[in-house]
């Protein structure tokens, strides 16, 4: 079946502009995650959605970052007033269940954001 889909695959924006990144998780997956990966670095957790529960926003680096998940499916990550340090690959993942123990995460190929 279809995997996690992210769009756009690449986004170049000017400093100070707002951007929206989209994630379509695997159908039926109740949990959705956003990570970012800077060049040559590991994954940095941003936010986690599980069903109808309040999202875990503990990884969001500043109040310029926000995310929503509509209807328990598609998610949008919004970055306001982008800065050059926001340049990274933003990865979305979904899993069948929320607990990490027996439910692997499946990642999309990410959106490469470049802030000029």
Partner 1 sequence: DAKTTQPPSMDCAEGRAANLPCNHSTISGNEYVYWYRQIHSQGPQYIIHGLKNNETNEMASLIITEDRKSSTLILPHATLRDTAVYYCIVISAGGTSYGKLTFGQGTILTVHP
Q: How much of the chain is helix, strand and coil, in % rounded to 5?
A: 5, 45, 50
Give the contact letters, 76-115, x = binds to partner 1 (CB under 8 A), - = no.
Answer: ---------------x-x-x--xxxxx-xxxxxxx-----
SS3 (DSSP) at 14: coil
CB of 81: closest distance to partner 1 in angstroms? 26
Smaller CB separation from partner 1, 5 or 76: 5
Whole-angstrom distance, CA of residue 96 vs CA of residue 60 = 23
Smaller CB separation from partner 1, 16 or 100: 100
Whole-angstrom distance, CA of residue 114 vs CA of residue 64 = 16
Residue 39 neighbours by CB under 8 Å, 6+ apart: 88
SS3 (DSSP) at 47: strand
Smaller CB separation from partner 1, 48 or 86: 48
Smaller CB separation from partner 1, 82 or 94: 94
User: Binding to partner 1 by residue 61, rule CB under 8 A?
Assistant: no
Binding site for partner 1 (CB under 8 A): 4, 31, 33, 35, 42-43, 45, 48, 50, 56, 59, 91, 93, 95, 98-102, 104-110
């Amino acid at each position: 079946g279809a995997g996690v889909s992210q769009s756009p695959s690449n986004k170049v924006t000017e400093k100070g502009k707002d951007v929206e990144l989209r994630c379509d998780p695997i159908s039926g997956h109740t949990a959705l995650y956003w990570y970012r990966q800077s060049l040559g670095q590991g994954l940095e957790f941003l936010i986690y959605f599980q069903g109808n529960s309040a999202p875990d926003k503990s990884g969001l680096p500043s109040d310029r970052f926000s995310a929503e998940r509509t209807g328990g499916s598609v998610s949008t990550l919004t970055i306001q007033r982008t800065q050059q340090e926001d340049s990274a690959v933003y990865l979305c993942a979904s899993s069948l269940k929320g607990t990490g123990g027996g439910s692997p995460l499946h990642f999309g190929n990410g959106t490469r954001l470049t802030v000029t």
